């Protein structure tokens, strides 16, 4: 079925032929299938052995079980009304009939390209291979999949009888299942994978199963999906390279002080409190992306808390311990190192939530050393906390607590998997296809190396966070208890710079906006472009994205955004001007680490290098 010369099609745009999907060397192909099965057996053994030894236990309230329960509630809603169920089935049947009619039309036209009735969403990278459109079989699979997945989404959207939490979970799980069953994920239903498998006589699958076995072994019984070539990176060599010293060490944190880059510096030192769910060097990936290095170059004396990667020894370390032995210890260390009591503080994500709670506690205790607070994508109110709330209800939290209490911590792979599931279409399935189907090693990428550098969660700390923030929302309501006190954000009267990011799936911009009203002082709300990481790690030199500033963060968020001023580029310089405006213009001679106290080694220290 060749095109006529007048069709305007290039040679490689002609309709596909059957030959490219036929095995050319059956003997070699059969041998590779046997090798693939052997490697698959090794993968199964790597999964089963830790469970047989009791090193890994699968608890009953795993996400799959919760997903089944959620879908059962969704099914009950639709099946409870026969008319409603019939209408839903009719919509699905109608979609399939449209796809079928479209396929028949293509066949009657002799296989010529036809406009599909159902198209992928703009930006969907799964169906870019030309065969998804010009081959009738693969086009049928694609459209049938799109019909089914969109129908399932509609079931959730129109399930008016479901409570909001169940509806949220159902929508999230439908998305996970839809991403998982996409025909792009399987050899026989993905034309590109099919061709590669035939062309290599199945060697891609042998390599892929070998990588799968290695990744399960690396996860000690759980799949530790590799997202980058990790061998290209080393912390302290080409990651986290801003020069400095370790000037303090407690059971939960090392305090890093960075070498100055200017002759004079701002009088107030800067203390950065990163999340312990990830490692601090997201703010110091490389010299071009490093917020820490940039802040040093602007004249800040920068101190950073580097949290311990906890083990069974830290199981009883609570939020109060992280405040006393992390934040307050950092303030004490700064005073010893510089002689300064007044400090500017930055908190990122859950590090910001801890900072906010600590500020409320310290205000009651009369500790007023922190004079301004900057929050990067931080939630203090969890009413609109995004898809992570899917994992938080009484049953699931109790199951996590049971798992943590057995070891004193939550395995880092559990948190990594949860975060990857928030963007499974970008962070899971493309790597499953690339690694285990195509048998190709992922490329080096510093951000994905950091993303895979998992941290454990200390049991008492993580339990407190889940219950007091996500489950019961006690911080914003003035009901959180710390150190025997009930703390209130109304007591935080210092200036606050509250940064959100527009496409954040972890700390949604709306959630950060609404959280602003709970502070007792002046709050400047700034909205950065992009997401939870790229919106924060956006150096001015990159000239990427935008940021929005406006009036007080009150009223309706969409109305605030409509009136806000749009600025091109990075918010970093805007923040620097804000900081400088909050203190006088006094500059002091640059402070070198170790001048007034003994140092404990070079930055980035030892805690950050502990891997799980």
| Burial of 35 (C-beta count, 10 Å sphere; 0-12/13-18/19+) | middle
Whole-number Cα distances in Å, 142 to 89, 152, 179, 486: 20, 16, 13, 55
Contacts of 320 (CB under 8 A, 6+ apart): 482, 483
Centroid of chain to Cα 69: 25
187 phi and psi angles, rounded to 5 deg: -60, -50
Of 36, 273, 349, 363, the active-site residue reads 349
- Tell me which residue of 521, 520, 518, 515 sits closest to 557, measured CA to CA: 515
For CA atoms 427, 430, 432, 434, give the dihedral sign.
negative
Is 248 within 8 Å of 607 (Cβ atoms)? no
Decide: helix, strand or coil at residue 137.
helix
3-class SS at 303? strand
273 is catalytic: no
Q: Which residues pair with 374 in a beta bridge?
A: 346, 497
Residue 162: name the closest of 96, 222, 78 by CA.
78
Q: What is the distance between the alpha carbons of residues 529 and 473, in angstroms, rounded to a whole number?
A: 27
Question: In the numeric block, which tokens belong to residue 315?
Answer: 């199981």
- 116: which 2 tokens? 């599909």
- Whole-number CA gyration radius for the chain: 27
Distance, in Å, from the CA atom of 295 to the CA atom of 284, rounded to the nearest integer, reads 11
Helix (H) or strand (E) holding 418: helix 412-422
- Sign of the Cα torsion 86, 92, 96, 101 reads positive
Extended beta strands in 286-434, E state:
302-307, 343-348, 370-376, 409-410
Long-range contacts of 72-78 (CB under 8 A, 24+ apart): 73/162, 73/166, 73/170, 74/155, 74/156, 74/159, 74/162, 74/166, 74/170, 77/159, 77/161, 77/162, 78/155, 78/159
Catalytic residue set = 349
């Amino acid at each position: 079925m060749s095109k006529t010369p007048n069709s305007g099609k290039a040679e490689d745009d002609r309709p596909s032929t059957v030959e490219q999907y036929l095995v050319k060397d059956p003997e070699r192909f059969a041998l590779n299938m046997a090798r693939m099965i052997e490697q698959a057996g090794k993968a199964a053994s790597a999964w089963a052995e830790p469970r047989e030894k009791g090193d890994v236990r699968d608890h009953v309230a795993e996400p799959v079980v919760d997903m089944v329960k959620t879908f059962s509630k969704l099914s009950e809603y639709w099946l409870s009304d026969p008319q409603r169920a019939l209408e839903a089935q009719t919509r699905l049947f109608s979609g399939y009939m449209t796809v079928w009619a479209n396929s028949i039309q293509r066949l009657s036209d002799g296989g010529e390209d036809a406009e599909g009735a159902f198209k992928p969403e703009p930006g969907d990278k799964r169906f870019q291979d030309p065969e998804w459109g010009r081959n009738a079989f693969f086009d049928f699979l694609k459209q049938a999949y799109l019909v089914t997945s969109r129908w399932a989404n509609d079931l959730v959207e129109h399930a008016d009888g479901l409570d909001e939490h169940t509806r949220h979970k159902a929508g999230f799980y439908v998305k996970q299942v839809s991403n998982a069953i996409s025909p792009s994920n399987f050899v026989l239903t993905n034309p590109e994978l099919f061709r590669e498998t035939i062309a290599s006589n199945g060697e891609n699958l042998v390599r892929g199963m070998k990588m799968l076995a290695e990744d399960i072994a690396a996860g000690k019984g759980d799949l530790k999906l590799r997202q980058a070539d990790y061998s290209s990176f080393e912390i302290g060599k080409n990651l986290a390279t801003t020069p400095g010293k370790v000037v303090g060490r407690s059971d939960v944190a090392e305090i890093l002080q960075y070498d100055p880059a200017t002759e004079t510096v701002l009088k107030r030192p800067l203390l950065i409190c990163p999340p312990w769910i990830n490692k601090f060097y997201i703010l110091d990936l490389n010299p071009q992306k490093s917020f820490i290095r940039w802040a040093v170059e602007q004249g800040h004396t920068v101190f950073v808390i580097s949290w311990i990667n906890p083990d069974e020894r830290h199981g009883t370390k609570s939020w109060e311990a992280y405040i006393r032995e992390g934040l307050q210890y950092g303030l004490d260390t700064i005073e010893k190192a510089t002689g300064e009591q007044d400090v500017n503080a930055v908190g990122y994500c859950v590090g910001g939530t801890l900072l906010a709670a600590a500020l409320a506690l310290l205000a009651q205790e009369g500790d007023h050393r922190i004079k301004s607070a900057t929050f990067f994508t931080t939630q203090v109110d969890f009413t609109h906390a995004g898809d992570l709330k899917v994992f938080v209800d009484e049953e699931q939290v109790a199951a996590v607590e049971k798992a943590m209490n057995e070891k004193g911590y939550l395995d880092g792979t559990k948190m990594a998997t949860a975060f990857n599931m928030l963007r499974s279409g970008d962070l899971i399935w493309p790597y499953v296809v690339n690694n285990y189907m195509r048998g190709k090693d992922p490329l080096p990428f510093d951000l994905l190396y950091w993303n895979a550098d998992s941290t454990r969660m200390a049991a008492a700390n993580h339990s407190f966070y889940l219950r007091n923030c996500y489950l019961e929302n006690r911080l914003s309501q003035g009901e959180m208890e710390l150190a025997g006190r009930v703390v209130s954000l109304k007591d935080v009267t210092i200036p606050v710079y509250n940064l959100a990011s527009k496409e954040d799936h972890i700390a949604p911009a709306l959630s950060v906006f609404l959280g602003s009203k709970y502070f007792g002082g002046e709050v400047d709300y700034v909205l950065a472009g992009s997401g939870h990481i790229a919106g924060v790690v956006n150096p001015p030199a990159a000239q990427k994205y935008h940021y929005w500033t406006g009036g007080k963060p009150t009223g309706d968020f969409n109305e605030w955004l409509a009136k806000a001023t749009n600025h091109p580029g990075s918010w970093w310089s805007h923040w620097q001007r804000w900081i400088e405006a909050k203190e006088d213009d006094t500059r002091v001679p640059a402070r070198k680490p170790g001048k007034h106290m003994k140092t404990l080694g070079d930055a980035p220290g030892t805690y950050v290098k502990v891997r799980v």
